[in-house]
Chain A
Amino acid sequence: MTTWLLIAVLLLLALAGAPLFAIIAAVAFIAFSAVGIDPAALIAELYRLVDFPALIAIPLFTFAGYVLAESQAPRRLITLAQAMFGWVPGGLGVVAVFATAVFTAFTGASGVTIIALGGLLYPALIQQGYPKRFSLGLMTTSGSLGLLFPPSLPIILYSIVAGVSIDKLFVAGLVPGVLLVVILSAYSIRMGIVARVPRTPLVLKGVWQALKGAAWEAPLPLIVIGGIYGGIFTATEAAAVTAVYVLIVEVFIRRDIPFFGGLPKVIRESMILVGAILVMLGAAMGLTSYIIDQQVPMKLFAFISHYVSSKLVFLIVLNLFILVMNMVEIFSAIIIVVPIIVPVALRFGVDPVHLGIIFLLNLEIGYMTPPLGLNLFLSSIRFGKPLSEVYRTVLPFFALLLVVLLVITYFPQLSLALTGGG
């Protein structure tokens, strides 16, 4: 009885806007004292975070993403993409897909993409004659596109929480990520043809100019992705290299960010996000150990296997569940749900790397799922459109992404072939 009352109170507090880390810690406190364990054990679990070598990738990549977002790199990136793909039918749409995917991979889908790139891309799309509905829907969708590419923050977080190799996950995301980009590009090309959007001719000199303009930033995806895929360095090492590289380029070479006037602010702002993630992760470490100790995943498996016997049905049910979870808050979804789901999925014979890709793709879709997806709100504010209109415009994109999700769920090889598994 008291337990239910406590749960109700905590739930009410959570809905009333109490910080999730405090809710998680409170639940852990109650759970620990219920089985007679000293709450100090909660902190012992939290302090285990220092044993995760991959943890440092979170502050380093987040910092790099914030530096890039604060600099003029987004503008140079779009200029380059426009020069390279502008001649294709639906060229600017393809540009938008590519630029936002790269940008989101580096900024970790924290909503920066819509704010930073949307302001440049949306007016350009409208001006070139793309339908308004398409443009708005594309921008809203693009806010989380690229989540499957390294070094996106959700991938790193998933790898830490699920105990899966970060390098493997980075490799596994490649094919599904490219598939998404290709399908959305194809849709843009079709739209470009149907709407008779004028094409800009390919000017080699223009491409050269744009390449020169972005000469410092353009190799960055190659350094990170090539470095990791080529086995030159680990994801954690790539984080250090990227952070220092970006710092030198944007602060000392390009001087987009002043050393004294801008850099401290960027460090602070990026570490605020890191701090918010880490306290939640820390609080959840304790709760997770309790959940594992009480064999909750085993019980959950026993319960689910009563109703679901096939792996595929399990994955589809899981997809629906995660989609709803992710609409609420994605980082919390990873931190809280993954430790419970991974052991259950293992028993159904799902590869944890494959599960990671499914989970992350769900995140990507969750961001744009009406009514609560974060991108919808950001888009509505950024482009000054009512939410109901944004809801309507994302529907075709939502359908496309769902199809990709089903394909990736059904064919684990797409995720696992390059990792040497599957």
Chain B
Amino acid sequence: MKAIRLIDRLLTAVVSAVLICSFSVMLGLAFLQVFLRDTFHMGIPWGDIAARQLVIWVGFFGAYLATRSDKHFRIDVLTRFLGPRLRPWFNALSDIFAALVCFFLVIASRTFVAVGLDPAATLFLGIPQTAAAAIVPAGFCLITVQFLLRTIETLAAAIRGVPPGQAVR
């Protein structure tokens, strides 16, 4: 269990750091564009494209953290009425399901990046489109891993019959 918690903490620290950097660049770019446009009637030619790509990056990192802190949108009508002994089993079930779906999303998005995009196409400053789009498989991969980590922790707690630790609900 210790190893799992360590992986979880490391991964989360890295994702948080990258998220904060990506967000700062996105905010800076978006504001710079408005400033340049309104004062000098000019702008960075690739500024809008870069900012829009970063929204997706930020979104995936945020979604990873949402998985970790259980902030995904869900309808928990059923689990609300379950006792504390049954609930972890249902939580584990929904986490396993989510991990499975995310795993399929990783495969589908790898295919999309490999087949659906032109490997020679560049977005700006010579950055290939495939590199920017790589966040989709990478992001879903991160989310899959987080769902698996959660499942392990929830199951371990459910078997022992104790409420899950701090990291989990």
Contact = CB atoms under 8 A, between A and B. Distances in A.
A193 B102 CA distance: 58
Given A25-B105, A44-B112, A241-B31, A19 B62 contact: no
8 contacts: A16-B94, A22-B97, A29-B104, A29-B108, A60-B27, A240-B34, A275-B65, A276-B62
A22 B78 contact: no
A55 interface: yes
A55 B62 contact: no
Contacts of B94: 13, 16-19
B75 A329 contact: yes
Interface string A4-43: 0000000001111111111001100100000000111011
A13 B31 contact: no
Contacts of B101: 22, 25-26, 29
A278 B51 contact: no
Identify the interface centre among A236, A244, A276: most chain B CB within 10 Å of its CB: A276
A322 B104 CA distance: 32
A50 B51 CA distance: 9
Given A19-B98, A332-B73, A267 B51 contact: no
Nearest to A279: B63
B73 A47 contact: no
Contacts of B30: 56, 60, 236, 239-240, 243
Nearest to A242: B31
A113 B116 CA distance: 44
B27 A274 contact: no
Nearest to B67: A19
A42 B74 CA distance: 21
Contacts of A21: 72-73
A200 B18 CA distance: 51
B72 A268 contact: no
B56 interface: yes
A40 B26 CA distance: 28
A120 to B, nearest CB: 25
Instruction: Pick the most buried of A18, A59, A239: most chain B CB atoms within 10 A of its CB.
Output: A18
B108 A14 contact: no
A107 to B, nearest CB: 16
B5 interface: no
B109 A274 contact: no
B58 interface: yes
A247 B24 CA distance: 11
A195 B103 CA distance: 60
A17 B59 contact: no
B55 interface: yes
A161 to B, nearest CB: 15
Nearest to A50: B52
Given A40-B109, A56-B51, A239-B30, A20 B58 contact: no
A43 B73 contact: no
Nearest to B93: A16
Contacts of A18: 74, 93-94, 97-98
Given A16-B94, A239-B30, A275-B64, A59 B23 contact: yes
A29 B97 CA distance: 14
Contacts of A52: 52
B52 A20 contact: no
Nearest to B133: A47
A47 B112 contact: yes
Contacts of A51: 52
Contacts of B53: 50
A328 interface: yes
Given A18-B94, A40-B112, 14 more contacts: A19-B72, A25-B104, A38-B111, A42-B108, A49-B56, A60-B27, A241-B34, A272-B71, A276-B71, A278-B56, A279-B60, A279-B63, A329-B74, A372-B77
Interface in B14-41: 16, 19-20, 23-24, 26-27, 30-31, 33-34, 37-38
Contacts of A26: 97, 101
A275 B48 contact: no
B149 interface: no
Given A20-B75, A268-B65, A43 B58 contact: no
Contact of A43 (B74, B93, B109): B109
Given A13-B94, A271-B58, A46 B77 contact: no
Nearest to B78: A15
Which 7 pairs of residues, A with B, have the shortest CB-CB distance?
Answer: A275-B62, A278-B59, A275-B63, A271-B62, A18-B94, A19-B72, A43-B112
A63 interface: yes
Nearest to A243: B27
Contacts of B133: 47
Interface in A242-282: 243-244, 247, 264, 267-268, 271-280, 282
Contact of B104 (A39, A46, A271, A329): A39
Contacts of B98: 18-19, 22
B123 to A, nearest CB: 9
Interface string A277-298: 1111010000000000000000
Contacts of B64: 275
B75 A15 contact: yes
A331 interface: yes
